[in-house]
Structure 1
Amino acid sequence: MTALPVLHIDAHMLVIDKPAGLAVHAGPKTPRSLDDRLGELAFGFRRLPQPAHRLDRDTSGCLVLARHPKAAKRLGQLFAAGAVAKTYLAVLDGIPAEPEGRIAAPLAKVSSAEAGWRMVVGEGGKPAATRWRLLAAHGGQALVAFFPETGRTHQIRVHAAHALAPIAGDPVYGGGKGPMRLHSAGLVIPYREDAPVSVSAALPADWPLWAREAAANEKGPPFRATPSA
């Protein structure tokens, strides 16, 4: 079993590069999860670290874990307040008409016995907003950086499909052919306001070469995460 890559570690938190396919928590359809591997991430602490937020099973990249209860409370407050700046990268099955923009569309959860649950854009939903920027296009697909201002379930996946194009490989909101191409590429965590932790994770090696090259060549803002207003 391959060790989970650690991108950052200190006395309060650690950030791992979560592989796609690994669920953060166990569930009816995900009996194997990160819960089974927390012992690998104790690094001398008696308490096992605990995830401070969630990533979808098929989303890769930066995942924060708290190393003690006070850190769990502090990190939970930061994520809930939108103080943690997030940058995601995604390959879309289509090319946006504009170079950048902002999607403001409320999200609500719906479910049925036949199709299960999913998130939809609807007037009765919770407010949700996502900034985005086109980084590259190739063969009818696009590499887009997303900067969520809120943290709703499946927010980027639904906003992309609603306003731009579905994320490649998305089994719920897209065609579902092949692995889903959504990656948590960067976080800025103001655990201490005077010394925020900035972490980034490169695109996985199984992503298309053109996307990996475009991401590697992108240096300046707004690619890096910045706190939402």
Structure 2
Amino acid sequence: MSREFTIAADDDGIRVDRWFKRHMADVSFNLVSRWARTGQLRVDGARVGPGDRLAEGQVLRVPPAETVPVDGAKLAARPVKPRRELSPEEIEFAQGLVIHKSKHALVINKPPGLATQGGTKTTEHVDGLLDALQFEAESRPKLVHRLDKDTSGVLLLARSARAAAYFGKSFATRDTKKLYWAVVAGHPKLDDALIDLPIGKQPGTGGEKMHVDEEAGLVAKSRFRVIDRASDKAAFVEMQPMTGRTHQLRVHAAATGTPIVGDGKYGGTEAFLTGGVSRKMHLHARRLVLGLPDGGTLDVKADLPAHFADTLKMLGFSPEDADLPIAPDKPEGPKPKRRRMSSATSGNRRGERRSRGK
């Protein structure tokens, strides 16, 4: 017997093929196309194709799950792999990460060492904990973006399909403000700089490592602002990615001679400080600012992990006054040259300790 689904408000305007990807991920695009060609896929009784749009309240008729006709034969439908049931400890852990909960959004403070999604030999990740974060919503939340495994901080989850589409568009069009804190090794040459260096996959690494590629790299821009300095040893920096390339902030920091502390992948031995400073990654997604589907603005901050806070204290940096006003996309002052660092402020002397919070 055919199955019928009433299109919900969150799916108003969605394409048929995308509806299946969202709600019946085990059904392939080829199968949806076959159902459409043979007239088995109907909306309010009329035949539809994979690219047709659905409207709220319409009834989508889908062939039965047990068998699928193919050229006169019958093929068993692919089973949906059940999700692993979470333990009470995992549920408590996941819910303890939540720092914001509202109608459309859920925000967690991701700890360092926890991957966002699974992969080869990665069994513990945020995606595997989403069942614990459904709360009173109709479905479990959806990942909107990612953080590297060793990067901590703000991670946004959408609480409905409508919110996921809205937030996804905001990230794609760069209508979000993502502000990171980092401790870098060495002495940044400028207090305020726009790093414009193209990034591509480094050959021979299987796509696991990126590098600056002036010839074939994709455009990548990052805003770096120094919060405080510890002589020539290290600096406390705010970083804002203007584009969303893989490992962008890490590549740009290393390429400008001041790798993120703990980032041996891109900074090598220069990324590690002596004197008892943690060898963990010192990159933290501090703040996220973006609009909400029903109007208003989400502006949320995540506290630092212990190792990062300890390093700030050890180096004499204070996080209390480190939240700088949100800056324009480009530094003020001389127009930056393409694919070079440009200064927004000048006159800082090498080794001079910059006053905090300015």
Letter paired with 1:166: P
* Aligned-partner Cα distance in 2 for 1:193–1:128: 31
1:218 aligns with 2:317: no
2:228 and 2:317 in contact (8 A); partners too: no
Q: What pairs up with 1:97-108 in 2 under 5 angstroms?
A: 97-108=189-200
Residues 87, 180 of structure 1: CA spacing in aligned structure 2 closer, same or farther, 3 A cutoff?
A: same
Q: Which moved more, 1:115-124 or 1:57-66?
A: 115-124
Determine whether 1:147 maps to 2:251: no
% same residue: 39
CA contact (8 A) 1:51 1:66 kept: yes
> Which structure 1 segments of 5+ residues have no match?
none
Residue of structure 2 aligned with 1:159, choices 249, 252, 266? 252
| Separation of aligned partners in 1, 2:263 and 2:207 | 16
Letter in 2 for 1:49: P
Instruction: Give per-residue Cα distances to partners, 1:143-196, cap 9 Å, x unaligned.
Output: 110111111110100001011411111131023651111000001011258511
Contact 2:127 2:143 (8 Å CA) reproduced: no
CA distance in 2, matches of 1:129, 1:165: 16
Given candidates 13, 29, 38, the residue that maps to 2:121 is 29
The residue aligned with 1:205 is 306
RMSD: 2.2
Cα distance in 2 for partners of 1:212, 1:66 equals 38
Distance, in Å, in 2 between the alignment partners of 1:212 and 1:58 is 24
Tell me the residue number matched to 1:120: 211
Using the alignment, how far apart are the partners of 1:21 and 1:52 within structure 2? 19
Aligned-partner Cα distance in 2 for 1:47–1:86: 27
CA distance in structure 2 between the partners assigned to 1:85 and 1:180 by the alignment: 22
* One-letter amino acid of the counterpart of residue 208, structure 2: W
Q: 1:89 to 1:212 in 2, by over 3 A?
A: farther
**TM-score, reference length from structure 2:** 0.59
Q: Which moved more, 1:11-20 or 1:201-210?
A: 201-210
Please tell me whether Structure 1 or Structure 2 has the larger radius of gyration of its CA atoms: 2
**CA separation in 1, counterparts of 2:316 and 2:176?**
25
Structure 1 residue 28: deviation in Å? 0.4
CA change 1:14–1:31 in 2 (3 A) is: same
AA partner of residue 56 (structure 1): D
Structure with higher strand content: 1
Q: How many residues align?
A: 225
**Equivalents in 1 of 2:126, 2:98: separation in Å?**
14
Post-superposition shift, 1:12?
Answer: 1.1
Cα distance in 1 for partners of 2:257, 2:195 equals 9
1:47 aligns with 2:47: no
Which consecutive residues of structure 2, in runs of 5 or more, have no partner in the other structure? 1-88, 273-278, 331-358
Equivalences for 1:2-21 in 2 at 5 Å? 2-3=93-94, 4-21=96-113
Amino acid at match of 1:202: D
Partner of 1:133: 225
The structure showing larger relative contact order (alpha-carbon pairs under 8 Å, at least 6 residues apart) is 1
Contact 2:98–2:108 (8 Å) recurs in 1: yes
Compute the TM-score of the two structures, normalised by the length of structure 1: 0.90
